[in-house]
């Protein structure tokens, strides 16, 4: 499994998607190749996919530290920790100064499983942003 296999699968789905979403994929070459996956009508929240020997990692960037109301930062972090378990297939992290939500799959996962993970991660991203608006500038 590699990002090009994933991109071809998602781009060819069109109206036969199991999730009901239409995907647009853009490979980004680098030290580690990354696939930027955009779900049509959710362009503001792309998901970045990388594939290693052991896993497929899917990450969506939520907001930057500079967008957090510092007076309620601790409350936001507590709320994120409390959301972590009831939010299926997704977890929170921070990369540099950006908060992210991510999910990981085995490299042995089916392409349908990858599609499902991307749909759930996108849904969870929207839910988190909606739930956290009180903590953001």
The CATH number for 31's domain is 3.30.1460.10
Copy the structure tokens of residue 102: 């991510």
Cβ-based neighbour number of residue 10 at 10 Å = 24
What pLDDT is stored for residue 14 in this prediction?
76
Q: CB-based contacts of 118: which residues, under 8 Å, 6+ apart?
A: 10, 19, 21, 23, 37, 39, 47, 49, 58
Instruction: Work out how many domains the chain is built from and give that number.
Output: 1
Q: Give the span between the Cα atoms of 9 and 112, in whole angstroms.
A: 9
pLDDT digits (tens), the chain, 137 positions:
999 999 999 999 977 888 989 999 999 999 999 999 999 988 889 999 999 999 999 999 999 999 999 999 999 999 999 999 888 889 999 999 999 999 999 999 999 999 999 999 999 999 999 999 999 99
Residue 15: what pLDDT?
A: 75
pLDDT reported for residue 69: 98
CA distances to 62, 73, 82, 108, 111 from 44, rounded to whole Å, are: 10, 23, 25, 29, 24
Domain membership of residue 10 as a residue range: 3-135
């Amino acid at each position: 499994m590699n990002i090009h296999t994933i991109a071809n699968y998602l781009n060819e789905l069109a109206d036969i998607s199991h999730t009901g979403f239409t995907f647009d994929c853009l490979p980004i070459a680098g030290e580690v190749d990354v696939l930027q996956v955009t779900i049509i009508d959710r362009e503001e929240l792309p998901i970045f996919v990388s594939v290693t020997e052991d896993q497929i990692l899917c990450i969506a960037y939520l907001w930057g530290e500079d967008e957090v109301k510092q007076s309620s930062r601790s409350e936001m972090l507590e709320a994120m920790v409390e959301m972590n378990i009831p939010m299926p297939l997704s977890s929170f992290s921070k990369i540099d100064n950006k908060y992210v939500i991510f999910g990981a799959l085995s490299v042995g996962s089916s392409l349908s499983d990858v599609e499902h993970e991307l749909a759930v991660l996108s849904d969870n991203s929207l839910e988190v942003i909606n739930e956290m608006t009180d903590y953001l500038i």
